Amino acid sequence: MRRYKKQRNLVKPAKTRFTTAILTLHNVYLQKQNLRTLVLSTEWSESIYAKETLGKEVARFIIGPYFWNDIVQALKVGNPLVSVLRLVDGEKKPPMGYIYEAMDRAKEAIEKAFDHDRRKYERVFEIIDKRWDDQLHQPLHAAWHILNLGLFYTNNENKTLDLNFWKAYHARVAKLVPDEVKQDKIGQELGVYMQADGILGLASAIRGRTKLALVEWWMQFGYEVPNLQQFAIRNIGSRYKSRNIIDPILLDNIDEANEWLTGGPKNHEEEEVFEGEGLTFGHVAMASGVE
């Protein structure tokens, strides 16, 4: 078997079981042709495995199209989510505000992979949203996102910040700033911040949104909104005073997580066993009773 798959291991160990499963499916899919060649070979048919019940079942799965169709569906969902996990679990931890952006991009990549047919990914999004609300949709993350200049202005302009997001942000303000007078001042200054008025709208401030560490930006340009500035610096925390900007390429990796599937067959029933001869794996599956 190792000879047919060119000595490559199919199992790809990772930090989490989910990532291990997706990376292993990825490897299996890349070896699709080699695995099919194996079970159609004389070497296989003469082996003891071909005569065993389990071996016959495995061969039927590999020859048939439906197993591969299911793998592709799983990868369309799993690849973008694995990219998010790699971003979160990497050596350089991302600022919390980036988690929202990463999850949004993952969902967009999944939607695109299913050709924007909501019926195909609706249930997946329900599961993701439930996990998100239960574990990640927290006030701390929401505040991080709003205070992250590199993401906030674009998302605010595109109106992608929903009601629950803003509720979480205000909950964070209430927790960190119990003084109601100061809360009101932060609320008033938030409007100035959203419009990028005064110092916040200087060309250097706009350039700094993606070039400066968050604390550094707030210290340089936050004087226009002193109460929000104080809240931002306190919320971000001293451990992020060093440069903490995430390479945009890492977020782009989420967008492109499913690009390698582009050009592949939408239905593996139509794949030919031998190119140009008209015999498809769908025909083989039907003849062998594979479901």
- Over residues 53-109, the pLDDT tens digits come to 999 999 888 888 888 889 999 999 999 998 888 877 765 555 566 777 788 888 989
The pLDDT of residue 123 is 94
Query: What is the per-residue DSSP string for 231-256?
Result: HHHHHH-GGG-S--PPPHHHHHHHHT
Q: What is the pLDDT of residue 151?
A: 81
Query: Given this model, what pLDDT does residue 229 score?
Result: 94
For the stretch 139-166, pLDDT in tens is 877 888 888 888 888 888 888 777 878 8
**Over the stretch 214-254, which tens digit does the pLDDT of each residue have?**
888 999 999 999 999 999 988 876 445 444 455 554 566 66
pLDDT score for 194: 94
Q: Contact, 209 vs 187, CB < 8 A? A: no
Helices 203-211 & 214-221 angle (0-180, nearest 10): 160
Q: Please answer whether residues 62 and 282 qualify as being in contact, where contact means their C-beta atoms are separated by less than 8 angstroms.
A: no
DSSP 8-state symbol, 262: T
Q: Are 271 and 280 in contact (CB under 8 A)?
A: yes
pLDDT at residue 6 greater than cutoff 60: no
Residues sharing a CB contact under 8 Å with residue 220, sequence separation 6 or more, in sequence order: 205, 208, 212
For the chain, give the number of residues.
291
User: Which pLDDT tens digit goes with each residue over 111-140?
Assistant: 999 999 999 999 999 998 887 766 656 787
CB contact at 8 A, 248 and 98: no
Q: Which residue has the higher pLDDT, 264 or 174?
A: 174
Q: What is the pLDDT of residue 241?
A: 46
The residue whose two tokens read 């594979």 is 290
Give the whole-angstrom CA distance, residue 102 versus residue 226: 30
Kindly report whether the global pTM for this prediction surpasses the value 0.85: no
| pLDDT exceeds 60 at position 30 | yes
